């Protein structure tokens, strides 16, 4: 699976809320190309197909795709008609849930409805105990009337989740086979998540049943029209998966785009010599942040659209702040920004596509930080006049503070940027400080089309000394997809005691290891590229939640150490409970190489474009603008300045110092706040 050894094109595709990004590596001429085109929300495949026509067709095309199709199906409640079949007495498991309160003091919380309405939740008489013994035999005759009801209601997909099926799946397997023989798409909890916690297991099974047929239809269309040599989907765990596997496992690609961004950020940061990073991915609709220290952190506790999913997901925190985030005035007359977004249609006002509400992108136009003639390498002109008109109208709806030297438009724009930054700063604190990590010892890796305009100010607020911005920042998620390994995850609940030995635990992984090795062969991974890792989930007796550590002879000591790091204490004398054993099968991939160029002169005057007025603090100042395509390794730039790359823009404030490294990354030393 090495891009170096096979001829052809390797294409990473990431669909975002505003743009669809492409990164193409040609093994023939060792070149990397990138492209951004406006997304097509009504039919995401259109943007993908449109973008692929821009590249020369070769006999061999290998595609890795991050899709928002599964995510949008949940968020917009546009999945297929799905039913749930469960153990008698448990049809309301999705409605009852965990009784969590999203807002502690909200006495009347508005919770999203479950993906399966109660009338499509069916019960079957059967029961296993916690050891997998049959307490009540399966009443097979009850399935016939349920099948008739499924047909009459035009149900397309069914989730099957029986009590304790993760210990003994016999009953669940029989029902699943009968439903599949009847021509239904079926997800069995014992196949997708053989793990304890009944609500989360059922929710994950239902999510998969709800979105997989939608994803299958989408991928089938692409596969037919593209006819690639290889076609992989990016998973939420940071690995890729073949389309054949992905079609039945839609839940595994819920946050595939942001996952690709973290993989790409880790790749470019490692090349630059950094291994402890905060990733900051600001796109058009939202901002995703993650913490990476050598390895990408993966969690199995995630939620999407109010639905818990327990499959492995990169530990991300997302806020609804992006370049397309809309300014609104709330009921109290206060200015808010996001989470509503202009998306790709109509997009920000400056795109000239009919948008009439100010966005964060428009605020940067007003402040002079986003040149209207430099967007997308000058291919897309921005309309400043219509932006000024919209800001004039909007500023009349809100009482703006009087800022000396600034007019109402600029005051409104500055306020919008400050509010958006506050949301994103909070997200960075959640993923670092609230995880027990000090952001001051990290490098902020900024990417996404809008990230470079906010990165330095956010780093300054958190005491982060350096910012890294790749020349491929605006398409880093698509690059990350080409750098992602094949990754297959397996889990099994064991509930073992303190006396369990390493050898006993290892024996519980044998079946999963064999399954992983077989599945890697199906993925076309050679033995030399294959690898297996084993982990265990452990907790102290009496705890509700667990921590994951590597399965080694020192697993107990490692658990105590990790517990100390995460929570500030540990109890080496206390008894533990081993909850789950996990196996990850990995097919290693060689990432596309990024050219390395020797450092040259520090004088960046050859890259200078011109001086332009930009709002700095509460005043307007003429500051230099630089053409990104003229910046060369070795160049040094002192802020304030604006660096205009082909598909992103970087804003340096007064004390920021930037240098271009050998990989053409912009490395910024973040200056202190003015006293």
pLDDT at 674 over 70: no
Q: Comparing C-alpha atoms, which of 551, 571, 548 is closest to residue 560?
A: 571
Average pLDDT over residues 526-532: 93
- pLDDT (tens digit, 9 = 90+) per residue, 53-66? 887 666 678 899 99
- Domain ranges across the chain: 9-73+224-240, 74-215, 486-587
b/e code 43-77 from CB counts within 10 Å (16+ = b):
ebbebbeebbeeeeeeeebbbbbbbbbbbbbbeee
Q: Give the pLDDT of residue 331.
A: 82
The torsion angle over the Cα atoms of residues 394, 398, 404 and 407, rounded to 10 degrees, is 20
Q: What is the overall mean pLDDT for the chain?
A: 90
Reported residue count of the chain is 675
Pick 375 or 121 by higher pLDDT.
Answer: 121
pLDDT at 94 over 90: yes
Lowest mean pLDDT among 339-353, 438-452, 454-468, 525-539: 339-353
- In angstroms and rounded to an integer, the radius of gyration of the C-alpha atoms of the chain is 26
pLDDT at 2 over 80: no
**Percentage of the chain modeled with pLDDT above 90:** 67
CA 429 to chain centre: 18
Q: Give the pLDDT of residue 44.
A: 87
Q: Give the pLDDT of residue 5.
A: 52
For the domain spanning 486-587, the CATH number is 3.30.1490
DSSP 325: E
Lowest mean pLDDT among 297-311, 400-414, 432-446, 498-512: 400-414
| Residue 664 main-chain phi, psi, to 5 deg | 65, 15
For 432, residues 6+ apart whose C-beta sits below 8 A from its C-beta are: 278, 291, 438, 439, 442, 462
Q: Give the pLDDT of residue 57.
A: 65
For the domain spanning 9-73+224-240, the CATH number is 3.30.420.40
pLDDT at 601 over 50: yes
Q: Give the pLDDT of residue 444.
A: 97
**Percentage of the chain modeled with pLDDT above 70:** 97
669 pLDDT band (50/70/90 cuts)?
A: very high
């Amino acid at each position: 699976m090495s891009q170096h050894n096979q001829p052809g094109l390797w294409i990473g595709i990431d669909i975002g809320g505003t743009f669809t990004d492409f990164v193409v590596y040609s093994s023939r001429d060792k070149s990397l190309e990138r492209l951004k085109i406006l997304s097509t929300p009504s039919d995401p495949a259109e943007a993908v197909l449109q973008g692929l026509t821009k590249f020369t067709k070769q006999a061999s095309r290998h595609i890795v795709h991050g899709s928002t199709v599964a995510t949008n199906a949940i968020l917009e409640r546009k999945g297929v008609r799905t039913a749930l079949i469960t153990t008698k007495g448990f049809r309301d498991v999705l409605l009852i849930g965990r009784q969590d309160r999203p807002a502690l003091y909200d006495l009347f919380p508005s919770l999203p409805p479950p993906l399966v309405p109660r009338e499509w939740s069916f019960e079957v008489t059967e029961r296993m105990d916690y050891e997998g013994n049959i307490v009540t035999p399966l009443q097979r005759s009850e399935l016939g009337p349920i099948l008739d009801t499924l047909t009459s209601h035009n149900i397309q997909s069914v989730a099957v989740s029986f009590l304790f099926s993760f210990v003994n799946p016999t009953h669940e397997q029989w029902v699943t086979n009968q439903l599949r023989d009847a021509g239904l798409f079926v997800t069995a909890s014992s196949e997708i998540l053989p793990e304890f916690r009944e609500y989360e297991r059922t929710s994950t099974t239902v999510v998969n049943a709800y979105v997989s047929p939608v994803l299958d239809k989408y991928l089938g269309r692409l596969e037919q029209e593209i006819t690639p040599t290889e076609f992989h989907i990016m998973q939420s765990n940071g690995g890729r998966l073949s389309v054949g596997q992905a079609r039945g496992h839609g839940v595994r690609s819920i946050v595939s785009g942001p996952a690709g961004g973290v993989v790409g950020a880790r790749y470019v940061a490692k090349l630059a010599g950094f291994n402890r990073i905060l990733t900051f991915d600001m796109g058009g609709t939202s901002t995703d942040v993650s913490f990476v220290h050598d390895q990408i952190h993966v969690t199995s506790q995630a939620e999407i659209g109010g639905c818990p999913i327990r499959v492995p997901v990169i530990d991300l925190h997302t806020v609804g702040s992006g370049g397309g985030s809309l300014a609104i005035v709330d009921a109290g007359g206060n200015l808010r920004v996001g989470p509503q977004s202009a998306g790709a249609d109509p997009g920000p006002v400056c795109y000239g596509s009919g948008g009439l509400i100010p966005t964060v992108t428009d605020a940067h136009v007003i402040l002079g930080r986003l040149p209207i003639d430099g967007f997308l390498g000058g291919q897309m002109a921005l309309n400043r006049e219509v932006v000024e008109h919209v800001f004039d109208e909007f500023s009349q709806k809100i009482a703006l503070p009087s800022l000396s030297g600034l007019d109402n438009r600029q005051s409104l724009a500055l306020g919008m940027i400050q509010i958006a930054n506050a949301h994103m700063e909070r997200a960075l604190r959640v993923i670092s400080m609230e995880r027990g990590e000090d952001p001051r010892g990290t490098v902020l890796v900024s990417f996404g089309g809008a990230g470079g305009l906010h990165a330095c100010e956010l780093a300054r607020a958190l005491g982060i000394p350096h910012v890294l911005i790749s020349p491929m920042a605006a398409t880093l998620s698509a690059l990350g997809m080409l750098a992602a390994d094949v990754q297959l995850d397996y889990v099994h609940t064991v509930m073992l005691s303190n006396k369990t030995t390493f050898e006993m635990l290892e024996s519980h992984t044998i079946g999963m290891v064999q399954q992983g090795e077989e599945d890697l062969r199906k993925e076309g991974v050679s033995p030399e590229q294959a690898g297996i890792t084993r982990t265990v989930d452990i907790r102290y007796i009496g705890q509700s939640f667990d921590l994951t550590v590597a399965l080694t002879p020192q697993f107990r000591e490692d658990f105590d150490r990790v517990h100390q790091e995460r929570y500030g204490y540990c109890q080496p004398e206390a008894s533990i409970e081993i909850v789950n054993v996990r196996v990850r099968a990995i097919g290693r991939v060689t990432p596309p190489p990024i050219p390395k160029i020797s450092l040259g002169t520090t004088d960046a005057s050859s890259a200078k474009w011109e001086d332009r007025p930009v709002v700095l603090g509460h005043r307007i100042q003429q500051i230099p603008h630089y053409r990104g395509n003229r910046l060369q390794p070795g160049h040094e730039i002192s802020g304030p300045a604006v660096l205009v790359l082909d598909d992103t823009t970087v804003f340096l404030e007064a004390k920021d110092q930037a240098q271009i490294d050998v990989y053409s990354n912009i490395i910024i030393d973040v200056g202190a706040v003015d006293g």
